[in-house]
Each structure stands twice: as structure tokens, then as C-alpha cells.
Amino acid sequence: MEILINTDHNISGSQEMRSYMKADLESAFERFSEHLTRLEVKISDENASKEGENDKKCVLEARLKGMQPIAVTGQGNSIDQAVTDATNKMKNSLDSVMGKLRSY
């Protein structure tokens, strides 16, 4: 499973942050790893340098073998909150898709 992490120009995408996030996502999606070919993470700050409620956004796109990609969006006051929100939504989506595949 390949993990791509992209940030907008308002967020510093340091190598340390990318390594931490990659390890966290690998762990979170380990049970789906045989079905996933790629996870794409897009992190942005909706209102740049201004403070705001839930202004961090994470779009998480999962590419499943032989299927259309699934995308979810998470938001939070910090990057970690936004990624966690998106991760939880993606897990629910993947559970649903995998459940439907098993029933056929």
C-alpha cells in the first residue's frame, strides 16, 4: 500500500510530520492493506494564517484494487484532529464496502 501525503502552501509538510503520519496511517489501515493499492492524503488550512474553528481539512482518498476510489473529508482545529476525523470516516466507508463485497 502506497501512502502519498500532500499539503497546501499554508502547512509545512516536514519529513518528520510525513513519517509520523505515514506510520499512523499504515497502522490504522493495516487490516485493509491487502485490498488497498494507495492512500492519498491532502491536508490544507482553510483560512491560512487566520485563526478559526475547524479550519484544518484532510481529504483522504483510498484506492481499492479493481474498484473506484473512495474519498472522505475530515476537519478539525488541528491537523491531527482533521486526519483522525478523516481516518475514522474512511474506516467506516471501507468496512461498508468490504461488507458488501463479502455478501456477494
Indicate the pTM of the whole model. Answer: 0.88
Which structural domain, as residue segments, surrounds residue 63?
Answer: 2-103
Extended beta strands in 23-80, E state: 36-45, 56-64, 70-76
pLDDT for 104: 55
Element (H, E) at 6: strand 2-7
The x, y and z cell numbers of residue 25, run together, are: 496511517
The x, y and z cell numbers of residue 100, run together, are: 458488501
CB neighbour class for 62 (10 Å; exposed up to 12, middle 13-18, buried from 19): buried
Question: Along the 104 residues of the chain, how does pLDDT read in single tens digits?
Answer: 999 999 888 888 788 988 999 999 999 999 998 999 999 999 998 877 667 677 899 999 999 998 999 999 999 998 999 999 999 999 999 999 988 777 65
Question: Taking phi first (over 0 means left), then psi (-120 to 50 degrees means alpha), and beta for anything else, what does residue 80 get?
Answer: alpha
CATH code at position 8: 3.30.160.100
Please name every residue paired with 43 in a beta bridge, in sequence order, or none if there are none.
7, 58
- Three-state secondary structure of 11-38: CCCCHHHHHHHHHHHHHHCHHHCCCEEE
pLDDT for 86: 97
Number of domains in the chain: 1
